[in-house]
Chain A
Amino acid sequence: MILYFQKELECEPPDQRRERQSERLRQTVRRAYERVPLYRRKLSSAGLNPDDIRGIEDITKLPFTVKDDFRAEYPFGLFAEPLDNVIRLHASSGTTGKPTVVGYTRADIDLWADCCARLLACGGGTAKDVLQVAYGYGLFTGGLGLHYGGERLGATVIPMSGGNTKKQLMLMQDFGTTLLACTPSYALQIAEVAHEEGMDLRLLKLKAGFFGAEPWTEEMRRQIEMRLGLKALDIYGLSEVIGPGVAGECLEQAGLHVFEDHFYPEIIDPKTCRPVPDGTYGELVLTCLTRETIPLLRYRTRDITKMDSAPCPCGRTFRRIARLSGRTDDMLIIRGVNVFPSQIESVLMRIEHVEPNYLIVVDRTGVMADLEIKVEVNERLFSDEIRKLESLRSRIAADVYSVLGLHAKITLVEPRTLERAAGKVQRVVFVDRKA
């Protein structure tokens, strides 16, 4: 039996949805124009006024919003509502400078809970389930987003937050957790610790996991499913838009349904900014059709994916985006070769027993950039003989070369020497010449 949270909306006929989207876009553009000075300026300089937007097909006329707009308008410049009406603030980690701030009215929180409840229902979740939320709680949207979604669905929510893995395992066992929400790398860390503790996660009641907030691969999915004994589902969201709950996989595991009655997706060529046809990779652009606090127009996510409009056997009529294959700004250029960290991860995950605990080091101190990949040696990879470890190392180097055409230095490191957090994992570091 296929489960839905809002069946009428999730399975709405496409024509009817288009009308809904058109109506919502008109309202959102008007609110943005009237209430957010930045959007008034952007629309005016594009020679537009809200009446020019008559339907969803006019969306391509609108100017884009970019991450820098959030920085320039820090903290509340993009808000269309006074703080009196804003009941929650979240912020994304600002690795450089100020964080990106987002606000939620009561209606926004409500909408967010609905969307996260949809995600969970997509994975077969119901009010009977026990959901362990191991995303971080706090300014990061992951924890609270899934938390509210679980409650909205009527599931029993364990607000565990990230970290404290042994306790996670204990509660998972004692409380009979059936749904797990965390980052994919943390899911594997849970598996690692369970292994050390001599615990077989496949014997527990886990049935589905909702993994997002960082890029991962099909190989990693297979490993998670095998070791945790659950169906691993990819979820997508970003705080600028709302947090988790923008898109998620159903049990078909064939792309992420975008909840496009609220978040309208487009795929563009990042260079020309023109839309690309279905099936062609490009940058995902999202417009919030119903958000009160920030009526975000055509936000350039910098995430790379492709669109699939084919009907899904699950009955949801939401179009699907492919697993995110990287970010436009994650792309590394090493000796003239374009490299996405996800490509390196795929190579590593094809090697038996390698876990996706790796760090890419780009050394730019020389004339040409050098690529080094640090791979953690776990107990199943470890051999007591030097030559076996050396041959593992050459095999990884050869595989990387065959995929990227680049020679990488492979360094085997001790487990947990690479930074691993409950939130996002830093996969790439740069070493630069000292100024």
Chain B
Amino acid sequence: MKVRQISLFMENRAGRLAEVARILGQGGINIRALSLADTSDFGILRLIVNDVDRALSLLRSTGHTVSVTEVIAVEVSDKPGGLAEVLGVLEKAELNVEYMYAFVEKATDKAVLVFRFEDTDRALEVFWKAGVSVLDPATVYSL
């Protein structure tokens, strides 16, 4: 149930994000979700795409520093309190979130939360016990 997310090192310079988007676009890769964490000098671009291996090889062959990170995607109702409910579960279990981002599904009234934990297996267990709906990777790639 772990989703493979691509992380990419990026200098904080004009045009870097556009270049990556172009490489993926020309390679026929569809970006499902994206988040950018940045500092004054550099940033980390995190991507969930429809074809992870192909995207990785495209980015590596164009000289980018990339890695694969395991994340968990959960589905919540797209209504006030949806996020708070899931975070409450994590709080009770004293699970630390390294980072997270969210997006809204097009076809349904659901929102998807993407989490990165230090201990992914334990997080899965906690979600499972609390009845949180963890998305299957194949579902996420094709959202």
Of the 9-residue stretches A42-50, A56-64, A138-146, A374-382, which lies at the interface with chain B?
A374-382
Number of interface residues of B (CB under 8 A): 21
Q: Are B39 and A390 in contact (CB under 8 A)?
A: yes
Decide if A405 is an interface residue (CB 8 Å cutoff).
no
CB neighbours of A411 from chain B (8 A): 41
Instruction: Tell me, yes or no, whether B44 is within 8 Å of chain A by CB.
Output: yes
- B69 interfacial by beta-carbon distance below 8 Å: yes
Chain B residues 7-24 with CB under 8 Å of chain A are 7, 9-11, 16
Q: Tell me the residues in window 396-435 of chain A with beta carbons closer than 8 Å to chain B beta carbons.
A: 411-417
| A412 and B60 within 8 A (CB) | no
Q: How far is the CB of B44 from chain A (nearest CB, A)?
A: 6
Which one, B41, B69, B116, contacts A412 given CB within 8 A?
Answer: B41
Whether A384 pairs with B7 at a CB distance below 8 angstroms is: yes
Verify if A385 is at the interface (C-beta below 8 Å from B). Answer: yes
The one of B60, B63, B64, B116 that contacts A384, using a Cβ cutoff of 8 Å: B116
Q: Are A413 and B11 in contact (CB under 8 A)?
A: yes
What would 6 more interface pairs be, CB under 8 Å, given A382-B65, A386-B39, A411-B41?
Answer: A382-B9, A382-B67, A386-B37, A414-B10, A414-B11, A415-B65
Complex contacts, A415 vs chain B, CB 8 Å = 63-65
The one of A385, A386, A390, A414 that contacts B65, using a Cβ cutoff of 8 Å = A414
A384 to B67, CA, bound (A): 7
Across the two chains, which residue of chain B brings its CB closest to A411? B41
Chain B residues near A196 (CB, 8 Å)?
A: 60
Decide if A238 is an interface residue (CB 8 Å cutoff).
no
Picked from B44, B46, B65, B99, the residue with its CB within 8 Å of the CB of A379 is B65
Interface residues of A in 155-169 (CB under 8 A from B): none
A389–B41 Cα distance when bound, in Å, is: 11
Residues of B within 8 A of A412 (CB): 9, 11, 41-42
Contact indicator B60/A417 (Cβ below 8 Å) = no
Contact partners of A378 in chain B: CB under 8 A: 65
In whole angstroms, what is the CA distance A196 to B46 when docked?
A: 21
* Chain B positions 22-71 with a Cβ under 8 Å from a chain A Cβ: 37, 39, 41-42, 44, 46, 60, 63-67, 69
- Contacts A/B (CB < 8 Å), 25 sampled: A196-B60, A377-B42, A378-B65, A379-B66, A382-B65, A383-B67, A384-B7, A384-B46, A384-B67, A384-B69, A384-B116, A386-B39, A389-B42, A389-B44, A390-B39, A411-B41, A412-B9, A412-B11, A412-B41, A414-B10, A414-B63, A414-B64, A415-B64, A415-B65, A417-B11
A169: min CB distance to chain B, Å = 15
Q: Does B109 contact A (CB under 8 A)?
A: no
Closest A residue to B71 using CB positions: A384
Find the B residue at minimum CB distance from A384.
B7
A382: chain B residues within 8 A (beta carbon) = 7, 9, 65-67
Q: Determine chain A's interface SS by DSSP, over half rule.
A: loop
Most buried by A among B42, B63, B64, B67: B42
Considering the complex, give the chain A residue whose CB is closest to the CB of B61: A196
Contacts of B63 in A (CB 8 A): 414-416
In Å, the complex CA distance between A378 and B63 comes to: 10
Q: Is B98 interfacial (CB 8 A cutoff)?
A: yes
CB distance from B27 to the nearest CB of A (A): 17
Chain A positions near chain B (C-beta within 8 angstroms) = 196, 377-379, 382-386, 389-390, 411-417
* Central interface residue in A385, A390, A415, A416, by most chain B CB within 10 Å: A385
Measured in the bound complex, the distance between the Cα atoms of B62 and A196 in whole Å is 11
User: Shortest Cβ distance from A357 into chain B, in angstroms?
Assistant: 12
Partner of A414, one of B7, B9, B46: B9
Query: Which residues of chain A have C-beta atoms less than 8 A from B41's C-beta?
Result: 411-412
B5 to A, closest residue via Cβ: A384
A385: chain B residues at CB < 8 Å are 44, 98-99, 116
> In the complex the two chains form, is A386's CB within 8 Å of B44's CB?
yes
Most buried by B among A383, A414, A417: A414
A residues in contact with B9, CB < 8 Å: 377, 382, 389, 412, 414
Give the distance to chain B from A216, nearest Cβ to Cβ, in Å. 23
B99: chain A residues within 8 A (beta carbon) = 385
Residue of A nearest to B43 (CB): A386
**Least Cβ–Cβ distance between B101 and chain A, in angstroms:** 13
Chain A residue nearest in CB terms to B6: A384
CB distance from B65 to the nearest CB of A (A): 5
How far is the CB of B39 from the nearest CB of chain A, in Å?
6
| Whole-angstrom CA separation of A411 from B46 in the bound complex | 21
Closest to B64 in A: A414
Contacts of B42 in A (CB 8 A): 377, 389, 412-413
Bound complex: CA A390 to CA B41 (Å): 10
Residue on A with the closest CB to B63?
A: A416
Which B83-105 residues have C-beta < 8 A from chain A? Answer: 98-99
CB distance from B37 to the nearest CB of A (A): 5
Closest chain-A Cβ to B5's Cβ sits at a distance in Å of: 8
CB B48 to nearest CB in A, in angstroms, measures 13
Please give me the residue from chain B that is nearest to A390 by CB atom: B39
B54 to chain A, nearest CB (A): 16
Q: Which residues of B contact A377 (CB under 8 A)?
A: 9, 42, 65
